[in-house]
Amino acid sequence: MINKVKFKVKGNSAYPVNMLSKRGIRLSKIRFTDDGVSFVVDAKDYDNCREYLEEFNRKYAVLSEKGIVYYWRKLKKRAGLIAGAAIFLVVAFLYSLTILTINISGNSLVPTEVIRSKVCETVNPPLFNAKIDRKRLEKCILSIDGISSVSVEKRGTAINIKVLEELPILDIEDIKKGFQPITSKYDSVVTRVIVTGGTPLVKSGQAVKKGQQLIAPYLMAGENNTVMCKAGGEVYGKVWLTKSKVYGNTKLKFKRTGNKSVYIDLKPFNWIKKKKEPPFAHYQTKKEIIYIGDIIPLKAVKYTYYETKPVYVEYDCYADIDLLIKELSHQLEEEIPEGATRERKWYDIKKLDKGVNLVIYYEIETLIS
Amino acid sequence: MSVYNKLIVKLGLPLSDSVGGVKLCMVDFMCVLIEGHRGILKYTPQEITVRLKKGNIVAAGQGLTIEEINADEILIKGNIDSIKRDYDKQS
């Protein structure tokens, strides 16, 4: 930076400018204002400029001084600040040379303490101006069981160690143990055979019985040469489910005899008390809740027991046949395995001497293996 | 004009080889360098009058400032509309 001094001379005329320029002083940034003229000269012309201005009795003022020389003079007055800045820089430099911590990452199976203790055999912080032998440190860490690779890096005041652990030993399952064939769960007709291991013993359209082998746990390798393997796959087939029930001409009903018994159970504040049993062998119960009072939560439960007796009455199944079919179908639906496709449904009604035999049939396609 | 400068002009040599006298160099009507001046006579942001050995130069425009001046050269900056020679005897 070239040192410059800015002057301001009183008097709004060009005379000072002409006078100084004629005496070999280079003026720049000349600005004429109402009360004077300001200009900038080099620091080497400072003394001459002052001399000439004083010689010609011109009132002047130094507005500013710029440059390294003037800046240095200002700084000399702030020795404390400079000393503090210098000490800070020295301390920061010395701090950067120290090693204070060791950061270990990437380990999950090998404990951190094991790695740290191994590192501390070579580098034990805090250290000052220590030179780290990276290769020796890496070799030291690799000697730990379970670590396959390591990288050591010094960053700032820390040593960052990243380890890569060895893969855990896999537990290999020996599939030769327990070769079991795949057998059928139902009596069915095979529709689809999907084999993933072993030899299929059935084909599509073949009828199979429950427990029959579907896929064998071996493979044929030439004549009379079998290789054992795990049987796998899925076999689908059509299965017929049936449910039957005989409905008689009479039906048991309970008819009221006309006798009844009333029991009132008072339940203040919702206490639970043991209910009194009615004095009849067969009965129907009617329960009523009576609320007593609005302020106090008092309620009573009234039980009315009607005596009944079993009576056989004439029963016409055909009148309720739809209901009976629905009821029996619902019971059969609960036996259908999950994922099965319902193909067909039908029923058969056979008249007997003293009743009716209702049979419901379901044809489904399901996994039979 | 000095003999040397007359020779420069007659022979068609580059004008930058001339010595002494008054030289003007203007760039884009934004600044003009005048060599061979004898001082400033008048200064306003609209007009600057520079004294020469014989006559004056009047630079007219808007926002005119004297950027640098030394014994021989003066650099005027601003929006220059015109530069003319003034034969005023008082200068």
A31–B40 C-beta distance less than 8 A: no
Evaluate if residue A271 carries a pLDDT over 60.
Answer: no
Beta partners for A237? A190, A366
| Owner of token pair 């006579």 | B41
- CATH number given to B22-86: 2.60.40.2000
pLDDT at A296 over 70: no
Q: What is the pLDDT of residues B38-58, one digit of tens each?
A: 889 888 899 999 998 888 999
Distance CA A151, CA A103 (A): 12
**Domain assignment present for A80:** no
Whether residue A272 is found in the same domain as residue A368: no
What string of pLDDT tens digits covers the 91 residues of chain B? 778 777 777 777 776 666 667 889 999 999 999 988 888 988 889 999 999 888 899 999 999 999 999 888 999 999 999 999 887 654 4
Say if A179 falls within a structural domain: yes
Q: A104 forms bridges with which residues in the sheet?
A: A161
Q: Which two tokens stand for residue A260?
A: 């009844």
Q: pLDDT by residue (tens digit) across A87-116?
A: 999 999 888 888 888 899 998 888 889 888
Contact A230, A196 (CB under 8 A): no
Residue A363 token pair: 């044809």
- Report the C-alpha gap between A234 and A68 in whole angstroms: 92
Residues of B in contact with A23 (CB under 8 A): 71
| pTM for this prediction | 0.38
Measured CA to CA in angstroms, residue A147 lies from A108, A138, A152, A159, A174 at distances of 11, 11, 14, 18, 28
A341 in the same domain as A239? yes
A179 & A201 share domain? yes
SS3 A90: helix
Mutating which of B68, B72, B76 best tests the A interface, going by the most A Cβ atoms within 10 A?
Answer: B68
**Considering only alpha carbons, which residue of chain A is nearest residue B67?**
A29
Q: What is the pLDDT of residues A26-63, one digit of tens each?
A: 999 898 888 888 999 998 888 899 999 888 888 889 88
Domain, as residue range, for A208:
173-249+315-369
Does B11 lie at the interface with A, CB-CB under 8 angstroms? no
Best A19, A21, A48 member to test B by mutation, with max B CBs in 10 Å, is A21
Q: Which helix (H) or strand (E) holds A329?
A: helix A321-333
**Which of A42-46, A224-228, A312-316 is modeled with the greatest confidence?**
A42-46
Rounded CA separation A285/A265 (Å): 14
Instruction: Out of A113, A145, A165, pick the residue that ends a domain.
Output: A165
- Note whether B69 contacts A27, CB cutoff 8 Å: yes
Residue type, A41: V
Q: Is residue A362 part of a domain?
A: yes
Beta pairing class for A158-165 and A101-105 = parallel
Q: What is the dihedral of CA B85, B89, B90, B91, to 10 degrees?
A: 40
| Mean pLDDT of the region A241-268 | 83
pLDDT at residue A176 greater than cutoff 60: no
CATH number at residue A348: 3.30.2400
Q: How confident is the model at residue A194 (pLDDT cuts 50, 70, 90)?
A: very high
Domain membership flag for residue A90? no
Residue A108's CB is within 10 A of a number of other CB atoms, namely 8
| Domain stops at, among A165, A181, A215 | A165
Judging contacts by C-beta atoms under 8 Å, the chain B residues touching residue A32 are 43-44
Q: For residue A24, give the chain B residue with the closest CA.
A: B71
Number of domains in chain A: 4
**What's the ipTM?**
0.76
Nearest residue to A140 via CA among A152, A130, A129, A158: A152
Residue B14: asked if its preceding bond is cis (omega within 30°), the reply is no
Question: Are B43 and A18 inside 8 Å of each other by CB?
Answer: no
3-state SS, residue A43: helix
Percent with pLDDT over 70 in chain A: 93
